[in-house]
Chains A and B, each alone.
Chain A
Amino acid sequence: MRFLFFDLIEDFTKGREAIGIKNISVGEEFFIHHYSRLPVFPEPLIIEALAQVGGWAISTSLNYRYLAIMVMIDEAKFFKPVHPGDQLRLKIEITEMNEYGAAIRGTAAVKGEIVARVERIYFTLFAVPSTHTHIIKKAYTFSSGRFWAESDDE
Chain B
Amino acid sequence: MDPSDVPGAPRGPGRERWLDAAAGPIVRPYAVTRGRTRPAGEPLDIVAILVATGRPPAEPGRLSRHQRRLLALCRRPHALADLASDLNLPLGVIRVLAGDLIESGLVDVQRWSTPVSPTGQPTMIQPHTDQNLLRMVLDELRAL
Q: Is B truly associated with A?
A: no
Residues of A that sit less than 8 Å from B by CB: none
Residues of B that sit less than 8 Å from A by CB: none
